Amino acid sequence: MSEWQSTVGRLIEEAEAVVVGAGSGMSAAAGLTYTGRRFREKFGDFIEHYGMTDMYSAGFYPFPTQEEKWAYWSRHIYCNRYDVQAGKPYLDLYQLVKDRNYFILTTNVDHQFQLAGFPEKRIFAAQGDYGMFQCAKACHKKLYENEKEVRAMVARQKNLRIPSELVPKCPVCGGDMEVNLRCDRYFVEDEAWERACAGYTGFIRQNRNRRLVFLELGVGMNTPGIIKYPFWQLTDREKHGFYICINQGEAWGPEEIREKSLYVNMDIAEALEAVREVM
Ligand SMILES: [Zn+2]
């Protein structure tokens, strides 16, 4: 038994509150990779036509028509949100924290936490959800579940286009719809989003001055302002705060919190499994 996993296990066990922050590395460790073989197998026809290199950049492709855009996007959503099960690192994490006082903050939009059994009231998915549509111009603050629509678009697309009658339209203004992802100023924060956000800030507030563990999983430098920097600041501010960062190749933090931090530079799936074994 190596030392780090016992230390992580002990920190979680002794914590009065655990704040989990999860980024894209967590889902990549669950097998939901956006590049390489998985991308080539699922998007061969799109790659051939558009020269796409990965699912992340493909999401920004300026499709000339809504029919072409939704042919791509419906498959993207289907692959990453509906045609998947909970990944192992999510299930392992659930076992580690389910009987504790915890909250999840995530930039992931793939619903993996819910699939793994985490209750909605303990999750704040700040950047949106693949499973929701919104008005592209945010003319009203409501989100629409899209499973039925997405499945139909996937089933009926041909030659990289969906039939025009399947193009989603805003029920209020009649304009285009968009996936509820934070990528421009039109991102819709509905009541459930506001509630989750308040749940997160309330959790931090209620647990001030307690033994707080900030467990960061797979957060890169893409949007560090949402999880990473706040976790560093909170660890620094909180007398009994402790920061654990698990991230292959990117496990590091500032000098100021060196005495109250632990860095695990390895695959998240392997790391969480190793911690589970000692608990
Ligand atoms: Zn609208």
247-272: pLDDT as tens digits: 999 999 999 999 999 999 999 999 99
Instruction: Give me the mean pLDDT over the 60-76 stretch.
Output: 97
Confidence (pTM): 0.96
170 is in an annotated binding site: yes
173 is in an annotated binding site: yes
C-beta separation of 65 from 162 below 8 A? no
183 is in an annotated binding site: no
| Burial (0-12, 13-18, 19+ Cβ within 10 Å), 54 | middle
**pLDDT score of 210 more than 80:** yes
Q: How far is the CA of 123 from the centre of ligand 1 (A)?
A: 27
Inter-CA distances, 71 with 25, 92, 152, Å: 26, 34, 10
- Where in the chain are the domains? 1-32+86-127+189-279, 34-83+129-181
Q: Quote the tokens at residue 117.
A: 């059994």
Quote the pLDDT of residue 271.
97
Q: How far is the CA of 139 from the centre of ligand 1 (A)?
A: 4
- Cα separation, 110 vs 198, whole angstroms: 21
**What are the pLDDT digits (tens) for 166-197?**
999 999 999 999 999 999 999 999 999 999 99
Quote the pLDDT of residue 2.
66
**pLDDT score of 14 more than 60:** yes
79 is in an annotated binding site: no
Share of the chain above pLDDT 70, in %: 99
**pLDDT score of 60 more than 90:** yes
Q: How far is the CA of 170 from the centre of ligand 1 (A)?
A: 5
Confidence of residue 36 (pLDDT cuts 50, 70, 90): very high
CATH class of the domain defined by 1-32+86-127+189-279: alpha beta
**pLDDT score of 222 more than 90:** no
DSSP-derived secondary structure for the chain = --HHHHHHHHHHHH-SEEEEEE-HHHHHHTT--SSHHHHHHHHHHHHHHH----HHHHTT---SSHHHHHHHHHHHHIIIIIS----HHHHHHHHHHTTS-EEEEE---S-HHHHTT--GGGEEETTEEEEEEEETT-SS---EE-HHHHHHHHHH-BTTB--GGGS-B-TTT--BEEEEESSSTT----HHHHHHHHHHHHHHHHTTTS-EEEEEES--SSSTTTTHHHHHHHHHHSTTEEEEEE-TTT----GGGGGGEEEE-S-HHHHHHHHHHH-
- With a CB cutoff of 8 Å and minimum separation 6, the contacts of 75 are 42, 43, 46, 154, 157
Quote the pLDDT of residue 1.
52
The mean of the pLDDT values for the chain is: 97
